[in-house]
Amino acid sequence: MNVKRKKLYEGKAKILYEGPEPGTIIQYFKDDATAFNAQKKATLEGKGVINNQISEFIMSKLNGIGVTNHFIKRLNLREQLIRECEIIPLEVVCRNVVAGSMSQRLGIEEGTPLPRSIIEFYYKKDELNDPMVTEEHITAFNWASTQELDDILAMTVRVNDYLSGLFAGVGITLVDFKIEFGRIWENDYSRIILADEISPDSCRLWDTATGNKLDKDRFRRDLGDVIESYTEVARRLGIMKGMPTVIQGGLH
């Protein structure tokens, strides 16, 4: 008898299914792309396959340097096995160069390097358009404890240092990125781990030599060549050799 697996959650770009063992989840990467709080939508054929592999590559590297995260293993082209965790309702953004909402909010030209990296927090609430919050809001409303916030900040700095170097090595500037964290329980103790995904959907990646955008801004700003740019990121990182041909053939 075939038993249909249980869908736990469907988001804008991913679906979560119950995993094969307790404490595990299957994360499925869709081809759907959304921007501006889902006001703009499209299906970009092959995006899920590329992001699954870029995120696998980055999360595995981060696990290797001791930034504990939810990634266990990739299962197939679109799915990976992850650890179940309680998601902290925050989007943690780290910036090295002014871009996007920071440029608009503060009237500072996009591309201006920051004198030091800046970390911002946004409350994950689509109905409210993910408002920016401070550490005081986070602890006052018990979204995370002071200790957990310390861990989140320290891990974000490590992710930024590592990824900035990784991308610089392949001629890409890590302008900014968004990460999410979760809480896992071991007996009576909880611990913070990195969760979600790290891909061109959640980072701004500029070709260092030309300034060309290789990330989701190509979709947000109708610049075209979205899949080609994501594939270029994967190619430079040394993953998915020959991907363009596969994409042309169609991916399901």
Residue numbers at the binding site for ligand UDP (CB under 6 A): 91, 93, 99-102, 130, 176-178, 202-204, 216
> Which residue, judged by CB position, is nearest to ligand UDP in the bound state?
100
Amino acid at 198: I
- Least separation in angstroms between residue 244's CB and ligand UDP is 23
Q: Of 216 and 218, which CB lies nearer to ligand UDP in the complex structure?
A: 216
- Least separation in angstroms between residue 18's CB and ligand UDP is 25
Assigned token pair, 246: 């596969």
Crossing angle for the helix pair 47-64 and 146-168, to the nearest 10 degrees: 110
Under 8 Å between Cβ of 40 and 34:
yes
Locus of tokens 């595990």: 24
Under 8 Å between Cβ of 164 and 157:
no
Under 8 Å between Cβ of 158 and 58:
no
- Least separation in angstroms between residue 245's CB and ligand UDP is 28
- Least separation in angstroms between residue 43's CB and ligand UDP is 18
Q: CA-CA distance, 231 to 222, in Å (whole number)?
A: 17
Q: Of 85 and 97, which CB lies nearer to ligand UDP in the complex structure?
A: 97
Under 8 Å between Cβ of 244 and 232:
no
Of 167, 178, 220, which is closest to residue 40 (Cα–Cα)? 220
Task: Count the alpha carbons within 13 Å of 149 in the hemisphere toward its beta carbon.
Answer: 18
- Least separation in angstroms between residue 4's CB and ligand UDP is 30
Q: Of 20 and 128, which CB lies nearer to ligand UDP in the complex structure?
A: 128
Q: Of 19 and 122, which CB lies nearer to ligand UDP in the complex structure?
A: 122
Q: Of 19 and 54, which CB lies nearer to ligand UDP in the complex structure?
A: 54
Q: CA-CA distance, 182 to 84, in Å (whole number)?
A: 9
- Least separation in angstroms between residue 208's CB and ligand UDP is 16
Q: Of 53 and 160, which CB lies nearer to ligand UDP in the complex structure?
A: 160
